[in-house]
Amino acid sequence: MTTQASDNNDAQLVECTLAGDRAAFATIVKRYQSLVCSITYNATGSLSLSEDLSQDAFLAAWKQLSELREPARLRSWLCSITRFLVGKEFRRQGREPVYAAEPLEEIQEPPSLEASPLLQAVSREEEAILWRALERIPETYREPLILFYREEKSIERVAAELELTEDAVKQRLSRGRKLLHEEVVAFVEGTLSRTAPGQNFSSAVMAMLPAASAATVGAGVAGKGAAMAKSGSMAAWLAPLTPFLGVFAGIMVNWISVRSAPTARERRFQGIWLSWFWAFVLGWGVAGQFAVQALRNGYAWSDPTYFAVVAGFWWIYAMVVAGFLVLFLRRSAAMRRQIEQEPGIPESSGAPTTLASRVAKVAGIYMAMFSALIYLAFRAHDWLAGAILSGAMVVLGGSHLLHVNSPDGPAGLRRTMRRFALGWAVIFVVLNLRMDLWLASYRGVDLAVIQRLLPPWVIPTETLTLLVWIGALAALTRPRRAKAQN
């Protein structure tokens, strides 16, 4: 199949490539080579290494193209592959992805008589001067700056490639230029323009591709791409909803609890408190994240600033949720004691508690506790943490179900609280030991980069503060025992 590939959108290009049209993939390479090479150069500081990694990224994309579940998100998928390969390369070398350009004083001319097209465009001395000027600029401003001069100075294209607003791109470009010394601005502009990948780069990528079609290489059979597009697109659509399983499970648990409350007063109390609770959870967790992202784009925050804000954002969320739950449990227990002491206690008018409702309640509790973290672990390909969290959810939930028909009372309550404490202990341990690894995997960078953005002491400190806060609230709200009468 031959087609006017340059006029096609990404989804059409993917479809044509999987059908065996190599020209369609050549169009993909030409369309995104500046973006991919800018990402690798921004990470490595070496023009030659960045070009090698970019070619590897396109080769990996060719081999895995049949696994792309949402062809319209080709650009984001290519960026993810590129960042992953950058991190993998520097993990292989046992060093951080900073930065491979040689110091000016150590440069020697290469012995090769025939320079590559890249080295013909810029000498090694110019490359070192270029990176020495750029490396002082924070990554947030440097990446748009590199891409701007390689995309024919188009703010619109840079905004589209980096998924930013045009205003955010303008702000980052302005701040990036201000951080360059005035005398090197013209040099940087000219050198970046000359080193942008062109026809030689795309030809080299196409020469590396296997003779077989992308669908055959990636999936083993030509027809598998279409089947995966149908089933995979549904899975890709459902995957982002996985973290919300915990929210839905928690709402279900609260609904069952409210319906089965013994008295109208308790049902009214629980309904009001839990409505406010879920309004906060959904408002802070969903709308709050969009607000943080909008502020980041609007004010062009650097990565360290963004990470600090996000860490504080979720720490405040955890403190409010923990405080709310402690107060809610204390108030519920106090109301129950007060009602029991009143004369003529009415019989329970709530919905009858059946075995099915108890099982649903237990399952919902542990889904609410573990599902979001299990999703994060598996998304980061951290199979060990995912297995530990899944195992803890199953074991604790199963243990709870074994006692689901046990009579309520102090002993049963203590047993339940021990399970909850153990579950949260597992969660806190996994978060403290694996969160930086998950972030490194999501961003496709080395662990050391994440630890500079989010120092290793931040999460343990926030966890300790949260535990102290819970303990203090529990102690301050503990009911006072009545003095024994003489």
What secondary structure does DSSP assign to 112-171, as a single string?
-SS--HHHHHS-HHHHHHHHHHHTTS-HHHHHHHHHHHHTTT-HHHHHHHHT--HHHHHH
pTM: 0.56
One-letter amino acid at 451 equals Q
| CA 296 centroid distance within chain | 16
DSSP state of 382: -
**pLDDT at 107 (0 to 100):** 42
**pLDDT at 324 (0 to 100):** 92
**pLDDT at 99 (0 to 100):** 45
- How many Å is the Cα radius of gyration of the chain? 29
Contact at 8 Å (CB) between 18 and 220?
Answer: no
Q: Which residues of the chain have pLDDT under 70?
A: 1-8, 91-126, 152-153, 181-187, 189, 210-243, 300, 343-353, 404-414, 442-446, 449, 481-486
**pLDDT at 165 (0 to 100):** 84
Backbone angles phi, psi at 355, to 5 degrees: -60, -40
> What's the pLDDT tens digit per position in 329-378?
888 888 878 887 776 655 555 556 677 777 888 888 888 889 888 888 88
Contact at 8 Å (CB) between 449 and 95?
Answer: no
Contact at 8 Å (CB) between 214 and 63?
Answer: yes
**pLDDT at 143 (0 to 100):** 82
**pLDDT at 239 (0 to 100):** 52
For the chain, the straight-line distance linking the first and the last C-alpha, in angstroms and rounded, comes to: 97
Instruction: Please give the structure tokens belonging to residue 405.
Output: 């028909």
DSSP 405-448: TSPPSHHHHHHHHHHHHHHHHHHHHHHHHHHHHHHHHHHT--HH
One-letter amino acid at 69 equals R
Alpha carbon distances (Å) from 14 to 23, 202, 234, 260, 317: 11, 17, 18, 54, 41
Ordered by start, the domain boundaries in the chain are: 5-104+116-232, 234-341+348-476
Q: Which of 134, 129, 102 is nearest to 38 (CA)?
A: 134
